[in-house]
Amino acid sequence: MEKQKVRIQDDLFAYVNGDWIEKAVIPDDLPSCGGFADLDIGVEKTLMADFSDMATGKKPIPNKYMGDAIKLYEKGLDTTRRNEEGISPLLPALKEISSIENVGELNEKLKEFVLKDWPLPFNIGVDSNMKDTLHYAAVLSGPRTFLPDTTYYFKPELKAQKEALTKVFSSMALALLDFTPLSKEEKSLCLKDALAFDEIVASLVKSQEEWSEYTKCYNPMSEKAVADSLKPLDFDGLLQGLFGKTPSEIIVYEPRFLEGFKKLFTEESLSLYKHWAYLKLLLTSAQYLSEEMRTIGSTFHRALSGAKVDASITKQAYRSASSAYSEPLGIYYGQTYFGEEAKKDVVSLVKDIISTYERRMEKNDFLSKATKEKAILKLKKIVIKMGYPEKCAKMYERLTTHVDSSFYEAMSVIAEEKNAFIMSRLYEDVDRGEWIMPGHLVNACYNPYTNDITFPAAILQPPFYSIKQTRSENLGGIGTVIGHEISHAFDNNGAQCDENGNLNNWWTEEDFGAFTKRTKAMIDEFDGIPFAGSKVNGAFVVSENIADNGGMAVTLDIMSHLKDANYKEYFINAAKVWCRKARPQFLQLLLSIDVHSPAELRANMQPRNFPEWYKTFDVKSTDKMYLAPEKRVDIW
């Protein structure tokens, strides 16, 4: 008997992607395939071939940046040297941590720890000032936990998962500690103390849901108040060492962490911290050491993602070089594989979507005239970054890959050079021309603090976009993505930033209340949906759902003005871009750490909010993809 195909009115995602999903095989070293993942795989395959050809002289190396990236790639490939060296490149750093006998000695090393990315009980950085985005500010946050989110530590329903993950983590940690000079008793104590310290960290730092409300990170405090809270650590001395002078104000991302810092770190808890830092550095560094250590060090990641094997050494070498020299590589990819015709076409589409958004904002029925004028001004000031930047950011001028260094040493030096550059910017003006995504990344983003949208060259491929696709297909693909990113300017976070990217309340109280009511409706639409053995947290994913909703609303508006509009093509391609087959462990992980709704729901939920869906496929109240009119949400 022939298998009956699911009806489109009952499950758009399965109707469009079901046959492919049934036949697709997830690569052993990956947690998922399809959609974004398959484009990532294709881009990686192309660039890995180019790296190989450049390393062997079959292709010319285009510039110094790429030359250094190739040197780093070759170091990663040199398993003979990596295996011979084993843990030896890391031992000086581990020894330096274990030799600290008191807080005074740690204070003398704080700057070194920050620049070298060695674990400290707090994180200090430099980022744009949310209320004055033309200038930078010093920012402070807490460290991250061993498990993916604080919810694993304290939610009763995740107790079994926590115990299982902690068991895997502990086994991996002890296996890596076997490579160190510590005695058996010291290894056991190191793990015990590290886990104890981690539990305290988890009680103080934000959950991923809390981080998703990023405008709440703006908590300016006097430097003196922060320094007093961080005692006995010498925060004043650290700032002097990093910046040459002490900034008067620190932006505290996690006030609860700072208030409870003395629960985490005191003279008496120094040994707990030392063992936590020792183990954490060992875990993060294992990937750059021997093959055996690299494989052991990825055990926990594989348990979280469900991947069956570690990535090949060739992939790891490429990915390390790609991470270190991401912008130069993105420019190379864009210049080599991205066509000007496509760039012009997509820029035109972006401008069309922005102008349509302006028109829709003018007709908005829940905002006052003053608020609408501010919103339209914000739309008019959006900067479009398409494909790839014209030149590399200044930071890459500092990076070097030394011929004689080990792979670990080379990666460490690059990290230190990047950190030194970031710290050096505190008293400079923000460079708004910088890109926050490289050209070879299959993604897109909106930056609320510069009010710009970025579309890397790599995402401008089918099914998202092709000159050969119909306008309806492109609107359902890249069009909804463009609309999504623009809508982030007016999601629950972006709506609190003005046209210049500054955190600034430009709403009337009544208007923001009306928007909040609609935001609550979007939370309710998704909250509690069963998925992957758990449930969707509507508040956690609301900003991305608002953006998805806006992206579909504005592109359907454009569709209504197309002479040859084909709504079937539009909805089918809108579902095709979310095609995905994923391992169960990975789906469970994403529910805890990803601010986006599951791909299946992104395909199926938003169409229900719009009348075009019902008209196109004659969807009735008896169909599974029907939503009662009073429950439909259409914000922008």
Which residues carry out catalysis? 485, 548
State how beta strands 452-456 and 383-387 pair: parallel
Q: 123 by DSSP, 3-state: which?
A: strand
In 3D space, the residue among 410, 365, 342, 419 whose CA is nearest the CA of residue 112 turns out to be 419
Q: Is residue 635 within 8 Å of 518, Cβ to Cβ?
A: yes
CA distance 7 to 518: 31
| Structure tokens given for 479 | 């069009």
In 3D space, the residue among 362, 125, 359, 134 whose CA is nearest the CA of residue 254 turns out to be 125
Q: Is residue 192 within 8 Å of 184, Cβ to Cβ?
A: no
Per-residue HEC secondary structure of 85-116 comes to HCCCCCHHHHHHHHCCCCHHHHHHHHHHHHHH
Residues 6+ apart with CB under 8 A from 434: 389, 393
**Tally of CB atoms within 10 A around 589:** 22
State how beta strands 132-141 and 123-129 pair: antiparallel
Residue spans of beta strands (DSSP E) within 413-473: 445-447, 452-456
Paired strand residues for 220: 251
CA distance 137 to 131: 10
H or E segment to which residue 327 belongs? helix 326-337
Paired strand residues for 456: 387
Give DSSP secondary structure letters for 23-88.
H----TT-SEESHHHHHHHHHHHHHHHHHHHHHTTSS---SHHHHHHHHHHHHHH-HHHHHHHTTT
559 to each of 55, 356, 562, how far by Cα in Å? 48, 11, 5
